[in-house]
Amino acid sequence: MATEILMPALSPTMEEGTLAKWLVKEGDTVSSGDIMAEIETDKATMEFEAVDEGIVGKILVAEGTEGVKVNTPIAILVEEGEEVGDVAPSAPADAGNEAAPAGGSEAPAAAPAAAAAPAAPQVDLTPDWPEGTAMKQQTVREALRDAMAEEMRGNEDVYLMGEEVAEYQGAYKVSQGLLDEFGSKRVIDTPITEHGFAGIAVGAAFGGLRPIVEFMTFNFAMQAIDQIINSAAKTLYMSGGQMGAPMVFRGPNGAAARVGAQHSQDYAAWYMQIPGLKVAMPYSASDAKGLLKSAIRDDNPVIFLENEILYGRSFDVPDLEDFTVPFGKARIWREGTDVTIVSFGIGMQYALEAADKLAEEGISAEVIDLRTLRPMDTPAIINSVMKTNRLVTVEEGWPQGSVGSYISSVVMQEAFDYLDAPVITCTGKDVPMPYAANLEKHALVTTDEVIAAVKQVTYR
């Protein structure tokens, strides 16, 4: 059967082109791979190869013709002893026009946005532990270590890798004692090669393990961010659900003290943006423990943002055998009626201090700790704003594209009628972190700024 040769698309965007030159003539025999013609696109001149063998029966478009639309028949290929007239109207042309998934030709379905807009959102207010549970004092550092140790005891596939996690016992002593208990097979010192070991860990997760990757700080994870986002976060989707990366990337994030611009950045807003990642940023020791245990059990890649300054801070931790905190559930630290203050991680320190001082002045602030930024418990925020009608967010990160600006947009879209004042986002200053003590203090968000913001939204 004679077949039509169609004008090919030679680039992702080509719609038409110039048939610059025929390199075969009628009567020539061609076989697969032979160059038949040169075709000029807007970008380049391309060679066009035969994909079938046969005899060039007829050339339909003369060389030099401009504006030849993709899929126009340009020649007819016949078999030995066949006539050009035998041509079967080639299915391809039709298929090409009908079935080509034309971008944008179909109206997209109404996008299920991050959250619908219920008048009164469902909020999970169950406590994290049963009433009457015995408590013990623990530092955030100890809580993190216990979480890892407990999960490693429970699952052989969980292992820890990172710089100085084993013999040095952790650059910040978070992995203290783990090498002794689990041995060098499961607690692994890596060379200082974040890009490489993050990639190896993602591969190990594809291969069935559940790695915990410690970055000495998240500043260094910028070297590895391609593997975190392009490999860990996107593979489940790109594989149609066949395989993903059940793993945790953890380490200190944000400003420590006097370490300058390259070691003092808050990545909360960066990672929060990525579908496929989950992001936790605990403040208290109980949340550090309960969330890290949940993170290690989660079948998705989790970014776990800790804080060096909080490592040594002590909190009550429930003395339970298997204590976990679910993702996507905010914690209300303090109930109030006049204003909602939303924060997470070390920002909670400023939020809680501000609330204490405001109480002395007769302003009742409700303080919400998001605990996880993806998923984010926006219903808890909306619910609170419906009561207080005012919102201030607090974080150490930069203002443009901040976590607070996202919260602000959600609240405006879903609870606009409940707002009695514009939302104020308290953030770190829009500057690289300076070294000088006085400047550094100024660059960070402060309790006083939170208090001032609250007064502004409450018109005091």
Partner 1 sequence: MAARKSTKKPNVSAQELTKFYREMLLIRRFEEKAGQLYGMGLIGGFCHLYIGQEAVVVGLEAAAEEGDKRITSYRDHGHMLACGMDPGGVMAELTGREGGLSKGKGGSMHMFSKEKHFYGGHGIVGAQVPLGAGLAFADKYKENGRVTFAYFGDGAANQGQIYETFNMAALWDLPVIFVIENNQYAMGTAQKRSTSTPDIYTRGEAFGIPGEAVDGMDVLAVKEASEKATAHCRAGKGPYILEVKTYRYRGHSMSDPAKYRTREEVQKMREERDAIEHVRHMLLDGKHATEDDLKAIDKEIKDIVNAAADFAKESPEPSLDELWTDIYA
Catalytic residue annotation:
194, 263
Are residues 198 and 213 in contact, defined by beta-carbon separation less than 8 angstroms? yes
Q: C-beta of 184: minimal distance to partner 1 in Å? A: 10
Q: Is 69 in the site for partner 1 (CB under 8 A)?
A: no
Both structure tokens of 313: 């801070």
Between 252 and 301, CB nearer to partner 1: 301
Q: Is 149 in the site for partner 1 (CB under 8 A)?
A: no
Stretch that binds partner 1, among 60-68, 162-170, 233-241, 315-323 (CB under 8 A): 233-241
Q: Is 130 in the site for partner 1 (CB under 8 A)?
A: no
- Per CB under 8 A, the list member of 242, 322, 360, 417 interacting with partner 1 is 242
The span from the CA of 319 to the CA of 185, in Å, is: 30
Q: C-beta of 190: minimal distance to partner 1 in Å? A: 7
Q: Is 133 in the site for partner 1 (CB under 8 A)?
A: no
The span from the CA of 457 to the CA of 249, in Å, is: 37
Q: C-beta of 374: minimal distance to partner 1 in Å? A: 10
Query: Nearest to residue 402, comparing CAs of 239, 215, 265, 268?
Result: 268
- Per CB under 8 A, the list member of 81, 108, 127, 132 interacting with partner 1 is 108
- Report residue 338: phi and psi, to 5°: -95, -30
Between 12 and 127, CB nearer to partner 1: 12
User: Binding to partner 1 (CB under 8 A): which residues in 261-280?
Assistant: 275-276, 278
Stretch that binds partner 1, among 165-173, 185-193, 354-362, 442-450 (CB under 8 A): 185-193
Q: C-beta of 54: minimal distance to partner 1 in Å? A: 13
- Per CB under 8 A, the list member of 172, 182, 197, 311 interacting with partner 1 is 197
- Report residue 391: phi and psi, to 5°: -140, 135
Are residues 98 and 91 in contact, defined by beta-carbon separation less than 8 angstroms? no
CB proximity list for 387: less than 8 A, separation 6 or greater: 337, 340, 366
User: Binding to partner 1 (CB under 8 A): which residues in 303-342?
Assistant: none
Q: C-beta of 356: minimal distance to partner 1 in Å? A: 38
Stretch that binds partner 1, among 1-9, 316-324, 403-411, 444-452 (CB under 8 A): 1-9
Between 30 and 450, CB nearer to partner 1: 30
Helical spans, DSSP H, in 46-185: 91-99, 140-154, 178-182
- Supply the Cα-derived Rg of the chain in whole angstroms: 30
Which letter does DSSP use for residue 167 in this model? T
Stretch that binds partner 1, among 174-182, 190-198, 249-257, 392-400 (CB under 8 A): 190-198
Both structure tokens of 93: 């042309």
CB proximity list for 41: less than 8 A, separation 6 or greater: 10, 11, 14, 17
Stretch that binds partner 1, among 104-112, 128-136, 147-155, 355-363 (CB under 8 A): 104-112
Both structure tokens of 444: 């960070």
User: Binding to partner 1 (CB under 8 A): which residues in 9-48?
Assistant: 9-12, 14, 32-33, 35, 41, 43-48
Which letter does DSSP use for residue 376 in this model? B
Q: C-beta of 230: minimal distance to partner 1 in Å? A: 5
Q: C-beta of 63: minimal distance to partner 1 in Å? A: 17
The span from the CA of 279 to the CA of 328, in Å, is: 10
- Per CB under 8 A, the list member of 29, 230, 262, 409 interacting with partner 1 is 230
- Report residue 73: phi and psi, to 5°: -60, 130
User: Binding to partner 1 (CB under 8 A): which residues in 198-217?
Assistant: 198-209
Both structure tokens of 389: 């009608």
Between 5 and 363, CB nearer to partner 1: 5
Q: C-beta of 65: minimal distance to partner 1 in Å? A: 17
Between 72 and 314, CB nearer to partner 1: 72
Q: Is 105 in the site for partner 1 (CB under 8 A)?
A: no
Both structure tokens of 429: 């200053």
Provide the b/e sequence for 250-281 (b: ≥16 CB within 10 Å).
Answer: bbbbbbbeeeeeebbbbbbbbbbebebbbbbb
Query: Nearest to residue 309, comparing CAs of 451, 214, 109, 172?
Result: 172
